[in-house]
Amino acid sequence: AQSVTQLDSQVPVFEEAPVELRCNYSSSVSVYLFWYVQYPNQGLQLLLKYLSGSTLVKGINGFEAEFNKSQTSFHLRKPSVHISDTAEYFCAVSVNGDKIIFGKGTRLHILP
């Protein structure tokens, strides 16, 4: 079975500062990895995904993530956050891209 751990339930960051949201996964087989964002009172949006190839994945809104197989991690980063980045961020895994297992989410608070 697969599982996802997001160690930080909340991350406060000052505007224009860099941010890293941590994600670790567990799986006995190769997986696809995703980061989704959920803005207040809205549905999920795909930020980025790793299927294969380059371990550094660039997504929308200036976010990127790096797949590290040895550390079973897929941390999300942004060099400079904006107030509009305030949202809940979910890391997720899938064996074949269908059934997706989500982490508990990390709430990103942007401080003025």
Partner 1 sequence: GAVVSQHPSRVICKSGTSVKIECRSLDFQATTMFWYRQFPKQSLMLMATSNEGSKATYEQGVEKDKFLINHASLTLSTLTVTSAHPEDSSFYICSAPRLTGGSTDTQYFGPGTRLTVL
Among 35, 87, 103, 108, binds partner 1 (CB under 8 A): 103
**Does residue 3 interact with partner 1 by CB under 8 A?**
no
Closest C-alpha among 78, 65, 79 to residue 25: 65
Of 82 and 104, nearer to partner 1 (C-beta) is 104
Of 15 and 32, nearer to partner 1 (C-beta) is 32
CB 17 within 8 A of CB 73: no
**Does residue 12 interact with partner 1 by CB under 8 A?**
no
CA–CA distance, 78 with 60 (Å, rounded to integer): 10
CA–CA distance, 65 with 33 (Å, rounded to integer): 10
Whole-number minimum distance, CB 16 to partner 1, in Å?
27
Q: How many CB atoms lie within 10 A of CB 55?
A: 12
**Does residue 70 interact with partner 1 by CB under 8 A?**
no
**Does residue 100 interact with partner 1 by CB under 8 A?**
yes
CA–CA distance, 39 with 28 (Å, rounded to integer): 32
Of 78 and 103, nearer to partner 1 (C-beta) is 103
Kindly state the number of chain residues that form the binding site for partner 1, as judged by CB under 8 A.
19
CB 17 within 8 A of CB 58: no
Q: Which chain residues interact with partner 1 by CB under 8 A?
A: 34, 36, 42-44, 46, 49, 90, 94, 96-105
